[in-house]
Amino acid sequence: MKALIVSGGVLPGKNELKRLRRDADLLIGVDGAAETLLACKIVPDVLIGDFDTADPKSVQALEVAGAHVIRLDTRKNQTDTQAAVDHALGAGAAEITMIGAVGTRLDHTLANVQMLLRAAKRNAAMRLVDAHNEAFAATGETTLHGVPGQTVSILPMDGDISVSSDGLEYPLKRLSLPHGSSRGISNVMTEQIAHIHISGGYALIIKSDASE
């Protein structure tokens, strides 16, 4: 099952949002995303949050339209987005796409990146997508699809890792990347497919269309 999580950060345009929705079996809206979803006339299957940033009228309108609303306490030990991820995993989602997960709150953005690791450790393929980047957590063998010239960065996520690859401009042969190192930043795809092998832990892999 494929799930789409729409969080309250920067979201794509209406047409892209509708395209992503068509490809998802389960759509989960998170808190402040309620207004955007309503404006786009998209009713989520589930709307979850403490709704401290959402317009109550938007939440009510989506609930009347058929969304299952899960109201969380404002005093809790997890973010609304983590609750959405856990709901998707509990529903049996094997693939999860998360959008609107990057915004002005660095703490929330970093927590949302950590959700990639949370999903990966439960054997779900989860990706975080914004206008310029696609990120996911991986270990073992990974096949990366992209375009020649696209930037690929590989960062240790939960400890030291070793990385080998082909299809990248800077070949990696059992390269040790200690946790906290930036050495894996800004490799480049030379083919449409790159093969990456990660051992020792999980890596955060980011494909980016933007340069620093």
pLDDT tens-digit profile of 78-105?
A: 999 999 999 999 999 999 999 999 988 9
Q: Mark the ranges of the chain whose per-residue pLDDT is less than 50.
A: 211-212
Which candidate, 99, 126, 130, places its Cα nearest to that of 114? 126
**Which residue type occupies 120?**
A
Q: Does this chain's domain 2-131 share its CATH topology with 136-208? A: no
Instruction: Say which CATH topology domain 136-208 has.
Output: Jelly Rolls (2.60.120)
Q: What is the CATH number of domain 2-131?
A: 3.40.50.10240
Query: What pLDDT does residue 60 have?
Result: 97
Query: What pLDDT does residue 16 have?
Result: 92
**Under 8 Å between Cβ of 35 and 54:** yes
Domain boundaries, the chain: 2-131, 136-208
Query: What pLDDT does residue 204 have?
Result: 97
Query: What pLDDT does residue 141 have?
Result: 96
Residue 53 CA to residue 191 CA, distance in Å, equals: 43
Q: Is the overall model pTM greater than 0.95, yes or no?
A: no
Residue 189 CA to residue 197 CA, distance in Å, equals: 15
**Under 8 Å between Cβ of 57 and 39:** no
